[in-house]
Amino acid sequence: MNVKNLRLINFRNYYNLNVEFNDNINIFMGKNAQGKTNLIEALYICSYGKSFRTTKDRELINFNKEQAYIGANTKLNNLEKFIEVKMERDKPKRIRINKSELKNYKELNTGLVSVLFCPDDLKMIKEGPLLRRNFLDASISQIKPVYSYNLIRYNKVLMQRNNLLKTCRIKKDLVNLIDVFDIQLSKLGTSIIIERDKFINELNILINPIHKNLTCDKESVELKYFSNIPRLIDKESIEKEYLKLLKSNLNRDIEYGTTEIGLHRDDLLMLINNKDVKIYGSQGQQRTLVLSIKLSVVEYIKKYFGVYPVVLLDDVFSELDEDRRKFLSNSFKNMQVFITVTDAVDLNAVNDLSKSVFIIEDGK
Ligand code: ATP
Ligand code: MG
């Protein structure tokens, strides 16, 4: 899969940009605050329908303008797609593929699938479980759009249940209505848990050869799925147990006004040589693990989608040592990659690959 070209109008600090890309390595080189990450962000939006830096679309529009536009031609095998994103101040953005408007961003994966590597990835290890759940959700959604559809529905039902729990404290007879939500939560929740379980098992298989290579065979990795719902032998048994747990916890839930049981409390434990890397890992170990995790997602997408995703590397390359840069570059031989670097970094690691270097200066 690759992006052939990108057109930007009034997007961040780009007034008018038209650029053709290399099928392999594309390097955005420039000093700080010139527009390198803005380009990565525009590509990311074409793939995920939203930015990784902000939830406020109006921030994407140039300070002096009312509208912005992103257009990208992508190619998957011999199938070409034209993705367009139109942003207007105070209106929801509109996304089209081949001129037809998308009702749901999940269809975007027919146009562009990408994996982003950025310094914030480290937070996935250092911070709370929310970022790890977001990582699971974003990765699985790219391959299985129905997963994100179920997740949106789950979160809606969860919110309704939580609202009702609070009302039940005053109007006790409403407690009977909770059953309806519990049935929906256990059904949707079970299908999500099964997908998370499958994904983590797959990742465990893919990550070890990658991580061993990156650490000269010194470290083994295990990713462990932690959930307060037991994963039993089949779907029906999980659903039944899920429902039972929701019911047995009901009084506590009413007291606190929130649902304790469910996948919204899941976590992903990351072990290096059997030790929790969040607690015991050095900074370097944590960084390397993040790299291995992201590379295994790239392989996961290749396995299930049939083609490699486009890889977006923002501010990551310059922070790696020469060996890791070489390893990374070798992993990127057969895919399209976008890399931001400041002008000081040396590009020895990608010398053998087909590459284009774009010098970025003040949105040009
Ligand atoms: P660094 O090396 O520091 O990461 P960068 O080249 O990645 O820099 P970007 O994050 O792409 O820099 O941002 C470049 C510039 O875009 C910044 O100076 C910022 O002020 C500007 N910018 C951000 N949003 C807008 C906007 N809506 N309108 C105009 N300019 C903007
Ligand atoms: Mg940047």
Token readout for 133 is 């759940």
Q: Is 32 exposed, middle or buried (0-12, 13-18, 19+ CB in 10 A)?
A: exposed
Q: Which of 66, 65, 72 is nearest to 39 (CA)?
A: 72
Classify residue 287 by its DSSP letter.
Answer: H
Q: Stretch 238-246: mean pLDDT, rounded?
A: 96
pTM: 0.91
What separation in Å is there between the alpha carbon of 160 and the centre of ligand 2?
39
Q: Which CATH architecture has domain 1-113+309-364?
A: 3-Layer(aba) Sandwich (3.40)
Q: Is 36 exposed, middle or buried (0-12, 13-18, 19+ CB in 10 A)?
A: buried
CA distance 211 to 288: 8
What separation in Å is there between the alpha carbon of 363 and the centre of ligand 2?
12
| Domain spans of the chain, in order of start | 1-113+309-364, 123-305
**Residues contacting residue 96 through CB under 8 Å, at least 6 positions apart:** 82, 83, 84, 86, 102
Q: How does pLDDT run across 318-344, given as a tens digit for each residue?
A: 778 888 888 888 889 899 999 999 876
Q: Stretch 196-214: mean pLDDT, rounded?
A: 95
User: Any residues with Cβ below 6 Å from ligand 1, and which?
Assistant: 12-13, 30, 32-38, 59, 61-63, 315, 340, 342
Interface pTM, i.e. ipTM: 0.99
Q: How does pLDDT run across 145-175, given as a tens digit for each residue?
A: 889 899 999 999 999 999 999 999 888 888 8
Q: Is 303 annotated as a binding residue?
A: no
pLDDT band at 198 (very low <50, low <70, confident <90, very high): very high
pLDDT band at 265 (very low <50, low <70, confident <90, very high): very high
What would the CATH number be for the domain defined by 123-305?
Answer: 1.20.1050.90
**Residues contacting residue 55 through CB under 8 Å, at least 6 positions apart:** none
Q: Is 128 annotated as a binding residue?
A: no
Q: How does pLDDT run across 16-72, given as a tens digit for each residue?
A: 999 999 999 999 999 999 999 999 999 999 998 899 999 999 999 999 999 999 999
Q: Is 145 exposed, middle or buried (0-12, 13-18, 19+ CB in 10 A)?
A: middle
Three-class DSSP category at 227:
coil
> Can you give the C-alpha Rg of the chain in angstroms?
22
| Residue 12 pLDDT | 98
Q: Stretch 214-243: mean pLDDT, rounded?
A: 93
What separation in Å is there between the alpha carbon of 344 and the centre of ligand 1?
19
| Residue 295 pLDDT | 95
Q: Is 340 annotated as a binding residue?
A: no
Residue nearest to atom 28 of ligand 1 (CA): 62
| Residue 107 pLDDT | 67
Q: Is 34 annotated as a binding residue?
A: yes
What separation in Å is there between the alpha carbon of 36 and the centre of ligand 1?
8
| Residue 131 pLDDT | 95
In sequence order, the β-bridge partners of residue 18 are: 7
**Residues contacting residue 342 through CB under 8 Å, at least 6 positions apart:** 29, 30, 31, 32, 318
Q: How does pLDDT run across 90-118, given as a tens digit for each residue?
A: 899 999 999 999 877 666 667 899 999 99
